[in-house]
Chains A and B, each alone.
Chain A
Amino acid sequence: MIEVEQLTKVYRVPIREPGIVGSVTSLWRREYKEVRAVDAIDFSVAAGERVGFLGPNGAGKTTTLKMLTGLLHPSAGSCRVAGWKPQDRQRDFLRTITLVMGQKQQLIWDLPAIETFALNKALFDIPSKQYAETLSELTKLLSLQEFLHQPVRNLSLGQRMRCELAAALLHRPKVLFLDEPTIGMDVEVQAIVRQFIIEYNQRYEATIMLTSHDMADVARMVRRVILIDRGVVRYDGSLEGLSREFGSGRTLVVRGNGPVLDRLGFSLMEDDKRRLTISPDRVNEVLGDILRELPQVELTVVDPPLDDVLRRAFGEKRE
């Protein structure tokens, strides 16, 4: 569904000396430098897949999404989405995709969200029957009923974001590009939005590419992640693989007591819980040692938190 080959975006950014002298000088002599925001990346995404596109600020995530939606023209390389070249901005292509940006809104501020939906119905040429069906479905799934007819300016951030999602999905796109879709939301609304995105993916077999700094989003919504840093893809694979490759190890949590735990170096957490973080290849050996001496013990093996994994991933790669 999405094919990316050697995709590159180079920005020409003006630079100037700091202070008033620099400002004045830049009036007649401006210097530029080239910034490779995306540097020859390759990946592909199958139809119906949900992929997390992760990276620190300025890594090139949003630039990539904007190239995949046709907003930016690549400096080199190529991309195809659902068979189209995005930068050609064919109308059928634009009817196939949607882009939700958590920090931007398409809803008309002074009018109820239903009026933006009506405008999108005209813009996307959605047949009336399909519009009524989709609207009713989205209203139910996102619990929009009670505020659909209130001016957008009177809605809370969570209500607005739910309406944004509905506005972006009225035309039933097959490819969703979600840029920080849960940013600024409270935990309850985040859960609704995540559940909704998963349901949409399953119901319409839609392909989803998601960027987020919220690791709960990633853990809940995607199975595969692509890590990008300084415009280069650093990792492309499963979440589990990511933990294996960049995690500091796996954590064993034991409820109980015994000399073997002290010998292996477990530290006390709370109550009678003890914890030890070890490399994945030592897990079976340590489990064997514990179970030989404490066969009845309550024992859990925990993957490292995703935040830690990513911090390590980006930290290591930058060193």
Chain B
Amino acid sequence: MIRILSALIRASLMVSFQYRSDLFFEAATGILRCFSAIAPLWLAFQHTTAIAGWTPPQAMLVMSLFLLFHALQGGLFEPNLGEVVQLIRQGNLDLWLIKPADAQLLVSLRRIDPSYLWDFGVSILMAGVCIAQIGPISALDAALAALLAVNGVLAMYGLWMLAICTSFYFVRVDNLRYLLTTAADAGRWPASVFSTGIRWALTAGVPILLVTSTPAEALRGQWTWTTVAGSLGIGLAFVGLARVAWMRSLASYTSASS
């Protein structure tokens, strides 16, 4: 699997490096994207000292986790899962399905968009600064936060995969993807700013809070074993459902006429 992944990443990077001038514009766009995301929060903190109980470094930590996810979504989910729709419509999915590797893995990881590496770098840096400002964090809190962040990303991946599987039946599902990315935008705010209903929707429906607020709360030491188990359960459910949906979709795949 590592051999296949490194070959896919190598090919992806080489394609990007074919267009050198683009690299500079991509870098500028990525950095600008991060700053424009931070701007509203920064402006808000010019007039208040806390948002729904979250201090500036804590809220900025949520924002940096959101940007980290945004980088994964733009750099990995969009170019791979987003393109499955196109692959199905044009019949080119056939060429990936006859490779002797897990087809779900291939369609999920066959391309990366390196332009989002800038977002990735900036958000990691931001998260580091925020964590340093929050103060001492126990090893358990840090480990749980990391586990919950990975779990949250997997849950969102599962949701994306479920959405993409619908394209095997309905072919054009672009608007569903836009709906997902728009809903995921809510993840830039701490969970406590939302009402209970919306918080549930953003935890178990479009589980973006599992990527942002839940790990940030763990870093603040605000977690219980129940919330950890619940989060992991939701993550597992999304990944499991995505796998079942993918296998069912392959069984009913009709390919495109040639």
Q: Which residues of A contact B (CB under 8 A)?
A: 11, 62, 66, 69-73, 87, 89, 91-92, 94-95, 97-99, 101, 103-106, 108, 110-111, 115-116, 118-119, 121-125, 151, 179-180
- Residues of chain A within 8 A (CB-CB) of B91 are 104
Total A-B Cβ pairs within 8 A: 81
Could you show 25 A-B contacts with beta carbons less than 8 Å apart?
Answer: A62-B257, A66-B94, A66-B255, A69-B98, A70-B97, A71-B98, A72-B255, A89-B103, A89-B250, A94-B100, A95-B100, A98-B98, A99-B98, A104-B91, A104-B258, A110-B18, A110-B19, A111-B11, A111-B14, A118-B10, A122-B4, A123-B7, A123-B101, A125-B100, A179-B258
What is the minimal beta-carbon distance from A219 to any residue of chain B, in angstroms? Answer: 23
> Bound state CA distance, A124 and B6, in angstroms?
14
- Residues of chain A within 8 A (CB-CB) of B98 are 69-71, 94, 97-99
> Bound state CA distance, A122 and B56, in angstroms?
47
> Bound state CA distance, A9 and B136, in angstroms?
64
Question: Is B20 an interface position by the 8 A CB rule?
Answer: no
Which of B6, B97, B103, B258 is most buried by chain A, counting CB atoms within 10 A of its CB? B258
Give the nearest-CB partner of A99 in chain B: B98
The one of A103, A105, A108, A119 in contact with B258, judged by C-beta atoms closer than 8 angstroms, is A103
Against A, the Cβ 8 Å flags (1 = close, 0 = not) of B135-155 are 000000000000000000000
What is the minimal beta-carbon distance from B182 to any residue of chain A, in angstroms? Answer: 23
Tell me whether B100 and A124 are in contact (CB under 8 A): yes
Tell me whether B14 and A125 are in contact (CB under 8 A): no
Chain A facing B: main interface SS? mixed
Question: Is B92 an interface position by the 8 A CB rule?
Answer: yes
Question: Is B47 an interface position by the 8 A CB rule?
Answer: no
Give the nearest-CB partner of B99 in chain A: A123
> Bound state CA distance, A53 and B91, in angstroms?
21
Tell me whether A106 and B101 are in contact (CB under 8 A): no
> Bound state CA distance, A210 and B94, in angstroms?
17
Give the nearest-CB partner of B92 in chain A: A104
- Residues of chain A within 8 A (CB-CB) of B14 are 111, 115
> Bound state CA distance, A95 and B101, in angstroms?
10
Question: Is B194 an interface position by the 8 A CB rule?
Answer: no
Give the nearest-CB partner of A102 in chain B: B258
Tell me whether B97 and A71 are in contact (CB under 8 A): yes
What is the minimal beta-carbon distance from A30 to any residue of chain B, in angstroms? Answer: 11
Q: How many residues belonging to B are interface residues under a CB distance threshold of 8 Å?
A: 29
Give the nearest-CB partner of B90 in chain A: A104
> Bound state CA distance, A116 and B15, in angstroms?
11
Question: Is B254 an interface position by the 8 A CB rule?
Answer: yes
Tell me whether A111 and B15 are in contact (CB under 8 A): yes
Tell me whether A151 and B18 are in contact (CB under 8 A): yes
What is the minimal beta-carbon distance from A98 to any residue of chain B, in angstroms? Answer: 7
> Bound state CA distance, A94 and B255, in angstroms?
18
What is the minimal beta-carbon distance from A81 to any residue of chain B, in angstroms? Answer: 12
A106-B95, A110-B18, A119-B11 known; A101-B100 Cβ under 8 A: no
Against A, the Cβ 8 Å flags (1 = close, 0 = not) of B80-109 are 000000000001101101111101000000
> Bound state CA distance, A246 and B46, in angstroms?
87
What is the minimal beta-carbon distance from B84 to any residue of chain A, in angstroms? Answer: 15
Give the nearest-CB partner of A95 in chain B: B100
Tell me whether A118 and B94 are in contact (CB under 8 A): no
Question: Is B35 an interface position by the 8 A CB rule?
Answer: no
The one of A69, A73, A91, A180 in contact with B252, judged by C-beta atoms closer than 8 angstroms, is A73
Give the nearest-CB partner of A72 in chain B: B255
What is the minimal beta-carbon distance from A238 to any residue of chain B, in angstroms? Answer: 27
Question: Is B8 an interface position by the 8 A CB rule?
Answer: yes
- Residues of chain B within 8 A (CB-CB) of A108 are 11, 15
> Bound state CA distance, A98 and B91, in angstroms?
16
> Bound state CA distance, A69 and B93, in angstroms?
13
A91-B101, A94-B99, A95-B100 known; A101-B94 Cβ under 8 A: yes
Against A, the Cβ 8 Å flags (1 = close, 0 = not) of B1-36 are 001101110110011001100000000000000000
Question: Is B45 an interface position by the 8 A CB rule?
Answer: no
Tell me whether A123 and B255 are in contact (CB under 8 A): no
Give the nearest-CB partner of B254 in chain A: A11
Question: Is B253 an interface position by the 8 A CB rule?
Answer: yes
Give the nearest-CB partner of A180 in chain B: B258
> Bound state CA distance, A105 and B98, in angstroms?
13
- Residues of chain B within 8 A (CB-CB) of A66 are 94, 255
- Residues of chain B within 8 A (CB-CB) of A151 are 18
What is the minimal beta-carbon distance from B113 to any residue of chain A, in angstroms? Answer: 14
Tell me whether A71 and B258 are in contact (CB under 8 A): no
> Bound state CA distance, A95 and B15, in angstroms?
26
> Bound state CA distance, A105 and B14, in angstroms?
19
Tell me whether A71 and B255 are in contact (CB under 8 A): yes
> Bound state CA distance, A124 and B100, in angstroms?
6
- Residues of chain B within 8 A (CB-CB) of A72 are 253-255
Which of A71, A95, A180 is most buried by chain B, counting CB atoms within 10 A of its CB? A71
Give the nearest-CB partner of B3 in chain A: A122
- Residues of chain A within 8 A (CB-CB) of B250 are 89
In the A-B complex, the 10 residue pairs with the smallest Cβ-Cβ separation, listed nearest first, are A122-B7, A94-B100, A91-B100, A106-B95, A110-B18, A110-B15, A123-B99, A95-B100, A119-B7, A122-B3
Question: Is B251 an interface position by the 8 A CB rule?
Answer: yes
Tell me whether A99 and B99 are in contact (CB under 8 A): no
> Bound state CA distance, A125 and B2, in angstroms?
12
